[in-house]
Amino acid sequence: MTVPAHERIRAAIHEANESGRTALVAYLTAGFPSRDGFADDLLKIARSADVVEIGVPFTDPMADGLTIQKASRRALEAGVTLGWILDQVAAVREHLQAPVLLMSYLNPLLAMGYERLAARAEQAGVAGFIVPDLPLEECDDLDAALSDRGLALVQLVSPVTPPDRLERAAARSRGFLYAVTVTGITGGASGSGGGFHDYLARAQSVSPVPVCAGFGVRSAEQVADIGRVVPGVVVGSALVEALEQGSDPAEFLAALRPEAA
C-alpha cells in the first residue's frame, strides 16, 4: 500500500516537529520572478522548507496583497498556466525533497476540469491543493475528485470563523489546516497577542491534522512566536519579495528558523 499523498504533507510537518523545529511552509508564485528559473527555485525551496506551496497565478487574486498580485500578473504575462506548472513539477518530482501543494483560485482548476486536474496532479507528484475562494460549503466536488487519488484539499480558517465552523473545517481538512493569521489579505501585518494565540490554540485543539498559520509572516521572531502554539508556519509574500530581489531562497528561509532569531 502506498501512502496517500496527503499523508506525506502531514508526515513532513510531524518530522520537522520531531526534530525540534517549527515546520516551514514556503510559498512561491509559479514562474516569478522568472519562468526559466522556476524549476530551480522550486528545488532550492523544497530543500529548505518542509512543505512547498506553489501559487498558480490568476487574473483576479482577491485574497492577495500587492506583492502576490504583482507576481501573479508578471507570471501570467510570461505565459504561465496551470498545465505548464504541472509539467514543471512532474519534470523535477524525483528531486523534490518536500511535498508540494498548489495554491490556486478556483477558476483555473474549474477550467481544467476536476477529474483531469486530479489525474495530472497525481501524475506530477503534487500532494494537494489550497483554494482560497472555495469555502467549506462549496468544496464537495473538488474534494471528491482529489480524495479519490489521495490528494489533500487543505481547508482554511480565519480569526472570525465561529467555533463550530472551525471544528467542521478542521475535520474536513487534509494535509494540514491553514489558519489565516489575520482578517485581511496576504502580505499585510500578521496577528499577534493573546487573542491571536487563543485562536491558534483553539484551532490546534480541535484539528485532527496539524495547523499551519500564515498571512503576513516575515521574521524569525514571528515564526518562533507562532511556532510555540501550532506545528507550522506559512511564509508567502516575504519569500516572493526575497526571490524578486534576487536573494537566495535557502538563505532567506534559514534565517527564518527560530534558532536564527
Partner 1 sequence: MSAAPLLEDGPGLDDLLAGRLPDERGRFGPFGGRYVPETLVPALDRLEAGVKRYLHDEGFRGCLAAELRDWVGRETPLTPAPGLGRAWGAEVWLKREDLAHTGAHKINNALGQAMLAKALGAKRIVAETGAGQHGVASAAACARVGLPCIVYMGAIDCERQSPNVDRMRRLGAEVVPVTSGDQTLRAAIDEALRDWVSDPEGTYYLLGSAVGPHPYPYLVREFHRVIGDEARKQILERAGALPDMVAACVGGGSNAIGLFHGFLGDPDVAILGFEAGGHGAELGDNSATINFGRPGVLHGSYSLLLHDEHGQVQETHSVSAGLDYPGVGPEHAFLHTVGRVRYEWISDTDALAALDECCSLEGILPALETAHAFAGARRWAAEHPGGRILIGLSGRGDKDMPTLAKFPPGVREGDAE
| Footprint of partner 1 (CB under 8 A) | 58-63, 65-66, 69, 73, 76, 81-83, 105-112, 132-138, 156-158, 160-162, 165, 169, 180, 183-185, 188
Which of 114/220 has CB closer to partner 1?
Answer: 114
Which of 77/221 has CB closer to partner 1?
Answer: 77
36 is catalytic: no
* Min separation Cβ 121 and partner 1, Å: 15
Q: What nine digits make up the cell of 153?
A: 484539499
* Min separation Cβ 168 and partner 1, Å: 11
State the catalytic residue, choosing from 53, 148, 221, 251. 53
* Min separation Cβ 258 and partner 1, Å: 27
The answer to whether 127 touches 175, Cβ cutoff 8 Å, is yes
* Min separation Cβ 47 and partner 1, Å: 30
The answer to whether 100 touches 89, Cβ cutoff 8 Å, is yes
Which of 26/109 has CB closer to partner 1?
Answer: 109
Give bridge partners of residue 101 from the DSSP assignment.
Answer: 53, 128
Which of 75/151 has CB closer to partner 1?
Answer: 75
* Min separation Cβ 260 and partner 1, Å: 31
* Min separation Cβ 193 and partner 1, Å: 17
DSSP per-residue string spanning the chain? -PPPHHHHHHHHHHHHHHTT-PEEEEEEETT-S-STTHHHHHHHHHHHSSEEEEEPP-S--TT--HHHHHHHHHHHHTT--HHHHHHHHHHHGGG--S-EEEE--HHHHHHH-HHHHHHHHHHHT--EEE-TT--GGG-HHHHHHHHTTT-EEEEEE-TTS-HHHHHHHHHH--S-EEEESSSS-TTSPPP-SHHHHHHHHHHHHH-SS-EEEESS--SHHHHHHHHTTSSEEEE-HHHHHHHHTT--HHHHHHTTSGGG-
State the catalytic residue, choosing from 7, 64, 143, 225. 64
Compute the distance between CA of residue 245 and CA of residue 127 in angstroms, rounded to an integer: 29
**Length, in residues, of the chain:** 261
Which of 105/252 has CB closer to partner 1?
Answer: 105
64 is catalytic: yes
Which of 73/197 has CB closer to partner 1?
Answer: 73
Enumerate the active-site residues.
53, 64
